[in-house]
Chain A
């Protein structure tokens, strides 16, 4: 293989696959990116076996060929290199020569035949295992991911919560739900042509990779294909494929309260600032803050046996019996963080042990349920 390629284009391609390369991989090949040249195009691939990313770049190649290189090192080299063009040439025994400006690197690759296969998409469109095939606007998809992914569980032991659940509650409608067992975020959007039997769980890491693709403004819609085991996404010349999370997503509908006793409207920015201030004194692990309700007043407070107390009042429209409810401040702030600045939120509360429901008039199809904590 011998090729030359625009340095910026290669750098962008390598940046795209960095996230997928295992940082502390014990299998060396998983720390590598595969470069395949064919007919004036260079394909970069990386996979951690669960998620695979592949992107095609234009290049000038002299024949085809395949090499693998340490993904982090080649990225650093191309980032630091001068010049506008990078030249790659494969030598004997998986050695690769890289020239850029007046610098020359000799790198040892690995046998490309040991590079693992990506989770691959189902080719035949008529195949019965294909559950859904749709085309989505990138902005819409980005919003759906942003408003749910923060609630995904980081706990590998709760495997079925480590991804975002996607289903079609009605033809032409898409729903994404994420929960870590303490809070739940749910968003609906119209997606014409989308309908699917049952739901699937998309792994968090795959969504992060997919999300990276959505910021590139110059490219078109996103093609998504979902089958029983794989979600396959393509936008322009980049593909992301991922193995779905196996397991049953919990009965999320059962835990969303139908209604709450009190609906308390409050400005998103005011509430966010008050919680951030109170959280300074809250315990490092729980970040517990208390929301106290009394006539026309919402009091955000926290206590720390070591530090002292903090409290702040906000005027609200509340008529009812006084009560106070504790929440993990992080759970509240993460939700408020994805609500548009300047808009209002509505706290749906019932008593100190029932779930709180937070909604916003700025996006009526977005619902957040958060369990209180006893403080």
Chain B
């Protein structure tokens, strides 16, 4: 069973027997908490961060607001109905990103292998840190304390030998919680949980699992793997493994990350030739380039992602992607944007666009570079660009992501609704 730190005793003093020690850390009501931090008058009040338009959704809600049933991804209109006294704030992505960096800096004191899932959530691989930092539970306590000291914010932490369990623990511990699960307790912990707790079990899969009489993770673990395979293919085998506590996925540090992406849903559907679509791509291209530069990598492949405004039923929409690879890897926003915009031409559809995003893959480390024989002019141009980008990064670091943008892009309005790892 998960152990609450207050009830932990000394017999948990080592990570002996842990194949891996994985911590999942999730900031509590992150955006809302940052708003309260910056404006103490909001303390103790229901605070909701999210778009004010009718189409907007709640991106974050303080625990006071959650008591009224408000949760993130809920339409703003509904949140207003549930909690009419809530204080709505527009959201300041650049401020949240800044706080996120401060949190990340704390994480880096605990592990070199950090896999961010979003601005407010990350996995940390603590395997092998016990000699340096102590047993997992002590490390997690110290992590919580230091985040609070450095930012004034609270974080909930789950520690387990597998990723999936660590994340579930965090969710259960919130707010300001800490739960640690030793390897010998993983199955006892997982099996009574409803099966939709497993990663990858969405609405459709859940209905089909229920049909087969599977309601808990334990039901799934005991189910005949051959029958699962015949019903769900290799995905069924994968779920069966997870249900039995076998989750081989390692924490993937972001230096070995495979791609970066940003996307946003439009307030109003956009035609393919709209300026707004281009504006959003520019904002995303610049933001991606900034992240690439911050991580010291460059990308060779640029992908344009569009969700068409043609409902397929069940809240689903057709998704299109178009990709192009370049001769040499880039971390330049203008180059990424140029390709993303070019890729629009490869999309043939009369439909409007509901969501637009840019992804980059095929990453290379920026410090490894093949020197070229020719094109001294191109080399000079690249040098100018990289100096410009360094200046941009410095301005952004000091004044926030919306302090400076390319002509057409207005950063604040194109703040991504989702960052993809």
- A residues with a Cβ closer than 8 A to B are 155, 157-158, 179, 181-184, 250-251, 255, 283, 285-286, 288, 305-306, 328, 353, 355, 369, 371-375
A328 pairs with B368, CB closer than 8 A: no
B370 pairs with A328, CB closer than 8 A: yes
B373 pairs with A255, CB closer than 8 A: yes
A183 pairs with B367, CB closer than 8 A: no
Task: With CB as the reference atom, state the residue of chain B lying closest to A373.
Answer: B370
With A155-B327, A157-B327, A158-B327 as known contacts, state yes or no: A182 contacts B368, CB within 8 Å.
no
With A155-B327, A158-B327, A285-B364 as known contacts, state yes or no: A179 contacts B373, CB within 8 Å.
yes
Task: With CB as the reference atom, state the residue of chain A lying closest to B369.
Answer: A374
Indicate whether B375 reaches chain A with its CB closer than 8 angstroms: yes
Expressed in whole angstroms, the Cα–Cα distance for A54 and B367 within the complex equals: 50
Task: With CB as the reference atom, state the residue of chain B lying closest to A372.
Answer: B371
B372 pairs with A371, CB closer than 8 A: yes
List 8 other contacts, CB 8 Å, given A181-B372, A181-B373, A181-B375: A179-B373, A250-B373, A250-B374, A306-B256, A353-B371, A355-B373, A369-B373, A373-B368
Write out the residue numbers on chain B whose beta carbons fall within 8 Å of the beta carbon of A375.
368
A182 pairs with B372, CB closer than 8 A: yes
Shortest distance between the CB of A69 and any CB in chain B (Å): 35
Write out the residue numbers on chain B whose beta carbons fall within 8 Å of the beta carbon of A184.
373
A374 pairs with B327, CB closer than 8 A: no
Task: With CB as the reference atom, state the residue of chain A lying closest to B372.
Answer: A181
Write out the residue numbers on chain B whose beta carbons fall within 8 Å of the beta carbon of A305.
255
Write out the residue numbers on chain A whose beta carbons fall within 8 Å of the beta carbon of B373.
179, 181-184, 250, 255, 355, 369, 371
Task: With CB as the reference atom, state the residue of chain B lying closest to A155.
Answer: B327
* CB-contact partner of A371 in B364, B367, B370, under 8 A: B370
Write out the residue numbers on chain A whose beta carbons fall within 8 Å of the beta carbon of B255.
305
Q: Which 3 A-B residue pairs are closest in the complex by CB-CB distance?
A: A371-B371, A373-B370, A250-B374
Task: With CB as the reference atom, state the residue of chain B lying closest to A255.
Answer: B373
Write out the residue numbers on chain A whose beta carbons fall within 8 Å of the beta carbon of B368.
283, 286, 288, 373-375
Task: With CB as the reference atom, state the residue of chain B lying closest to A353.
Answer: B371
Task: With CB as the reference atom, state the residue of chain B lying closest to A156.
Answer: B327
A255 pairs with B374, CB closer than 8 A: yes
Write out the residue numbers on chain B whose beta carbons fall within 8 Å of the beta carbon of A250.
373-374
Write out the residue numbers on chain B whose beta carbons fall within 8 Å of the beta carbon of A355.
373
Write out the residue numbers on chain A whose beta carbons fall within 8 Å of the beta carbon of B370.
182, 286, 328, 371, 373
- B residues with a Cβ closer than 8 A to A are 255-256, 327, 364, 367-375
Write out the residue numbers on chain B whose beta carbons fall within 8 Å of the beta carbon of A155.
327
Write out the residue numbers on chain A whose beta carbons fall within 8 Å of the beta carbon of B364.
285-286
Write out the residue numbers on chain B whose beta carbons fall within 8 Å of the beta carbon of A158.
327
Expressed in whole angstroms, the Cα–Cα distance for A96 and B139 within the complex equals: 79
Shortest distance between the CB of A304 and any CB in chain B (Å): 12
Expressed in whole angstroms, the Cα–Cα distance for A179 and B374 within the complex equals: 10
A373 pairs with B371, CB closer than 8 A: yes
A181 pairs with B371, CB closer than 8 A: no
Write out the residue numbers on chain B whose beta carbons fall within 8 Å of the beta carbon of A251.
374
Write out the residue numbers on chain A whose beta carbons fall within 8 Å of the beta carbon of B372.
181-182, 371
7 contacts between A and B (CB under 8 A): A155-B327, A182-B371, A183-B373, A184-B373, A305-B255, A371-B373, A373-B368
Write out the residue numbers on chain A whose beta carbons fall within 8 Å of the beta carbon of B256.
306
Write out the residue numbers on chain A whose beta carbons fall within 8 Å of the beta carbon of B367.
374
Write out the residue numbers on chain B whose beta carbons fall within 8 Å of the beta carbon of A283.
368
Expressed in whole angstroms, the Cα–Cα distance for A129 and B367 within the complex equals: 49
Expressed in whole angstroms, the Cα–Cα distance for A255 and B372 within the complex equals: 10
Write out the residue numbers on chain B whose beta carbons fall within 8 Å of the beta carbon of A183.
373
Expressed in whole angstroms, the Cα–Cα distance for A373 and B371 within the complex equals: 5
Write out the residue numbers on chain A whose beta carbons fall within 8 Å of the beta carbon of B369.
373-374
Expressed in whole angstroms, the Cα–Cα distance for A373 and B372 within the complex equals: 9
Expressed in whole angstroms, the Cα–Cα distance for A276 and B411 within the complex equals: 49
Task: With CB as the reference atom, state the residue of chain B lying closest to A184.
Answer: B373
Expressed in whole angstroms, the Cα–Cα distance for A306 and B250 within the complex equals: 14
Write out the residue numbers on chain B whose beta carbons fall within 8 Å of the beta carbon of A285.
364
Write out the residue numbers on chain B whose beta carbons fall within 8 Å of the beta carbon of A179.
373-374
Shortest distance between the CB of A175 and any CB in chain B (Å): 17
> B256, B364, B367, B373 — which one has the most chain A CB atoms within 10 A of its CB?
B373
Task: With CB as the reference atom, state the residue of chain B lying closest to A153.
Answer: B327
B371 pairs with A374, CB closer than 8 A: yes
Write out the residue numbers on chain B whose beta carbons fall within 8 Å of the beta carbon of A306.
256
Expressed in whole angstroms, the Cα–Cα distance for A250 and B376 within the complex equals: 12
Write out the residue numbers on chain B whose beta carbons fall within 8 Å of the beta carbon of A369.
373
Shortest distance between the CB of B342 and any CB in chain A (Å): 13
Expressed in whole angstroms, the Cα–Cα distance for A25 and B369 within the complex equals: 36
Expressed in whole angstroms, the Cα–Cα distance for A306 and B370 within the complex equals: 21
Write out the residue numbers on chain B whose beta carbons fall within 8 Å of the beta carbon of A371.
370-373
Write out the residue numbers on chain A whose beta carbons fall within 8 Å of the beta carbon of B327.
155, 157-158
Shortest distance between the CB of A349 and any CB in chain B (Å): 14
Shortest distance between the CB of A91 and any CB in chain B (Å): 42
Expressed in whole angstroms, the Cα–Cα distance for A183 and B367 within the complex equals: 20
Shortest distance between the CB of A136 and any CB in chain B (Å): 28
Expressed in whole angstroms, the Cα–Cα distance for A305 and B368 within the complex equals: 13
Task: With CB as the reference atom, state the residue of chain B lying closest to A352.
Answer: B371
Shortest distance between the CB of A51 and any CB in chain B (Å): 24
Expressed in whole angstroms, the Cα–Cα distance for A153 and B360 within the complex equals: 24
> A181, A305, A328 — which one has the most chain B CB atoms within 10 A of its CB?
A181
Expressed in whole angstroms, the Cα–Cα distance for A373 and B375 within the complex equals: 16
Shortest distance between the CB of A186 and any CB in chain B (Å): 12
Expressed in whole angstroms, the Cα–Cα distance for A305 and B256 within the complex equals: 10
Task: With CB as the reference atom, state the residue of chain A lying closest to B329.
Answer: A285
Expressed in whole angstroms, the Cα–Cα distance for A372 and B368 within the complex equals: 11
Expressed in whole angstroms, the Cα–Cα distance for A179 and B368 within the complex equals: 21
Shortest distance between the CB of A114 and any CB in chain B (Å): 29
Task: With CB as the reference atom, state the residue of chain B lying closest to A327.
Answer: B370
Shortest distance between the CB of A154 and any CB in chain B (Å): 10
Write out the residue numbers on chain B whose beta carbons fall within 8 Å of the beta carbon of A288.
368
Expressed in whole angstroms, the Cα–Cα distance for A181 and B328 within the complex equals: 11
Task: With CB as the reference atom, state the residue of chain B lying closest to A285.
Answer: B364
Expressed in whole angstroms, the Cα–Cα distance for A184 and B373 within the complex equals: 8
Expressed in whole angstroms, the Cα–Cα distance for A362 and B256 within the complex equals: 44
Shortest distance between the CB of A184 and any CB in chain B (Å): 6
Task: With CB as the reference atom, state the residue of chain B lying closest to A354.
Answer: B371
Write out the residue numbers on chain A whose beta carbons fall within 8 Å of the beta carbon of B371.
182, 353, 371-374
Task: With CB as the reference atom, state the residue of chain B lying closest to A283.
Answer: B368
Task: With CB as the reference atom, state the residue of chain A lying closest to B374.
Answer: A250
Shortest distance between the CB of A291 and any CB in chain B (Å): 15
Task: With CB as the reference atom, state the residue of chain B lying closest to A370.
Answer: B373
Expressed in whole angstroms, the Cα–Cα distance for A86 and B35 within the complex equals: 85
Task: With CB as the reference atom, state the residue of chain B lying closest to A158.
Answer: B327
Task: With CB as the reference atom, state the residue of chain A lying closest to B367.
Answer: A374
Expressed in whole angstroms, the Cα–Cα distance for A355 and B373 within the complex equals: 8
Expressed in whole angstroms, the Cα–Cα distance for A305 and B370 within the complex equals: 19
Expressed in whole angstroms, the Cα–Cα distance for A375 and B256 within the complex equals: 17
Task: With CB as the reference atom, state the residue of chain A lying closest to B373.
Answer: A255
Shortest distance between the CB of A273 and any CB in chain B (Å): 24
Expressed in whole angstroms, the Cα–Cα distance for A283 and B367 within the complex equals: 13
Task: With CB as the reference atom, state the residue of chain A lying closest to B371.
Answer: A371
Write out the residue numbers on chain B whose beta carbons fall within 8 Å of the beta carbon of A372.
371
